Amino acid sequence: MDAEQNSSKKRGLTWSDQETKALLSTWGEGKIQSELDNSTRNTHVFSSIIRTMGGLGYLRTAPECRQRIKTLKRNYFNAKNSNKLSGNGRTTCRYYDELEDILGGRPAVTPPKVKDSSENHSSRKNSSVECSEPEDEDGDMDIFQQPSTAVLLHVP
């Protein structure tokens, strides 16, 4: 097998700029994104994508579209993660703006702000907590329990 045949088995046909933009436009539609989010099997969604692409004059298979989207997402996430690191200049990738429109507001990409619960634990590391005694139904301490003056240390 010569080098040309061997390389064709590893890589599919190159995607043109217009073809990639058509795929991003089709894949980025709200209906398609919703269907992908709400299904565990997405074969029918990619069938819809290739039908739309075919209507635009681009003949691709579902695995080719899936792989192209996977590659685009990987490049986007690599650029996005690089931008989070201190000291790095702004990094982009080809089709970054289009991918940001599709993926940028998704929780997996931009998680909602969550209070760090470790702050509560670290501030209580050396604090002590007084132990209160249980009361019976009328609000008095049970006569069989002795009041305690013990102090418990909270150790996470």
Instruction: Tell me the pTM.
Output: 0.61
Question: Residue 113 domain-assigned?
Answer: no
Would 39 be classed as within a structural domain?
Answer: yes
Could you tell me if 27 and 69 are in contact, meaning their C-beta atoms sit under 8 angstroms apart? yes
C-alpha 33/C-alpha 106 separation (Å) is 11
Using CA atoms of 6, 59, 78, 106 in order, give the dihedral in degrees to the nearest 10: -150
Task: Please give the pLDDT value at position 152.
Answer: 55
Is 18 a member of any domain?
Answer: yes
pLDDT at 104: 85
Is residue 47, in this structure, part of any structural domain at all?
yes
Instruction: For residue 137, tell me if it sits in a domain.
Output: no
The pLDDT value recorded for residue 130 is: 45
Local confidence pLDDT in tens for the 156 residues of the chain: 455 444 445 666 899 999 999 999 999 999 999 999 998 899 999 999 999 999 999 999 999 999 999 999 999 999 999 888 877 788 889 999 999 999 987 765 555 566 666 655 544 444 444 444 445 555 554 444 445 555 555 555
The domain tally of the chain equals 1
The pLDDT value given to residue 132: 44
Residue 47: strand, helix, or coil: helix
In a domain, 90, yes or no: yes
* Structural domain includes residue 5: no
Report if residue 86 sits inside a domain: yes
Q: Residue 33 and residue 45: Cα distance in Å, rounded?
A: 9
Please give the residue range of the domain that contains residue 59: 13-103
